[in-house]
Amino acid sequence: MDLKDQDLGHLFAKIMIVDDEPINVKIVRKYLRGIGYTNFVTTTDSTTCTQLITAEEPDIVLLDYLMPDVNGLQILKWIRSQEKFKHMPVVVLTASTDSETKFAALGLGATDFLPKPLDPNELFPRVRNSLIVKAHQDHLAEYSEKLEREVQLRTAELEMSRLRVFQCLARAGEFRDDTTGTHVFRVGRCAGILSSEFGYSRQQVAMVELAAQLHDIGKIGIPDAILLKPGKLTPEEMTEMRKHCVYGKGIIDPTTDNEAELARRYTAIVSSPVQVSESPLLTMAASIALTHHERFDGTGYPNGLRGNEIPLEGRITAIVDVFDALQSPRPYKTALPPEKCLEIIASDRGKHFDPKVHDALLSRLPDVMKIYRQPATDLAA
């Protein structure tokens, strides 16, 4: 047989021959050796066949049909039940010529079917073609796994980039009156801790932690003369300061009018159509930015929301924001000890703060205070 123009890689394949007659095994091996195959696994004991397949992992099985104890169809059925071997070529060999036998073998997933006595002119191309197809399938499977790994790596890189963008944006909002940015990161960490007390999933807790970091992003729009004023703000200045909630929502809110333009620009970059959709993370961040100064009794701003009208994430961020602000030095105040901060917050239970959220703070206080013992460099990690 002229194999000069054929891919010879299949000649290195491991071929398993299963037949209860030693002479049949010898004949098949002799035929295949004659055209260059050298790697064989053989057995005449069908009861050990499945263990041998598991141990040797052949590239193809030439399987006799009529054998004592365990016949070829039983072995074939087992092979196709194994995820690892369900695409392995199995050529069934039998002296039976009835159509029912052939139908049964093919129905169980036989790759091919050869009658005995074997004709080398049929055996050679059937084995070769089955192995070449398997080699292509293996290549495709490896390529698919490689693509999957690359997609996972790229997804992880994109996720890390998104986290960094969030952190940079959070720092930008806090930079003028807290150049370390630690306030926003502490608020985010503490909000995440408290949200876990309300049945949030692990993913939702992580989302709250990120979203809460942007609660004060609207400060970008507040003049320095007001933001950094060491004394008490005038009513007019306080009105201006309170606008940072609305500014924050406007900066973050993904429901803008330029989605079509965003899609057009991104399509030009990636050379394929894209559809811009709302981000749950940005939606939550916008909600927190807008509502973290609302009060449980309805006397907060900017919309005077009351009780459960305030999103839970906003109520959570409200209490950890105040808790952190009380403990932090500002141009207009000195830092207070944690005990005094807790006393002040307790006095506003049911007024400024949701009683359930206050209970969550007390319940998780040891975990919250750990955040305050961490180095500033670790908070954004």
Count CB neighbours of 174 within 10 A: 23
Residue 146 annotated to the active site? no
What is the chain's Cα-based Rg? 35
The one catalytic residue in 4, 116, 219, 243 is 219
**What is the SS3 assignment for 86-155?**
CCCCEEEEECCCCHHHHHHHHHCCCCEEEECCCCHHHHHHHHHHHHHHHHHHHHHHHHHHHHHHHHHHHH
Q: Cα separation of 330 and 335, whole Å?
A: 8
Structure letter (DSSP) for residue 68: S
Contacts of 192 (CB under 8 A, 6+ apart): 205, 206, 208, 209, 212
Cα dist. 165→121, 169, 179, 213, 333 in Å?
A: 66, 6, 17, 12, 31
63 close to 43: Cβ distance less than 8 angstroms: no
Q: Is 96 exposed, middle or buried (CB count within 10 Å of its CB: 0-12, 13-18, 19+)?
A: middle
- In angstroms, the first-to-last Cα distance of the chain is 65
202-212 and 312-327 are packed helices; what angle lies between their axes, rounded to 10 degrees? 50
| Tokens, residue 373 | 């013992």
Contacts of 7 (CB under 8 A, 6+ apart): 132, 135
In sequence order, what are the beta bridge partners of 93?
A: 64, 114
| Tokens, residue 4 | 């000069």
The residues carrying an active-site annotation are 219
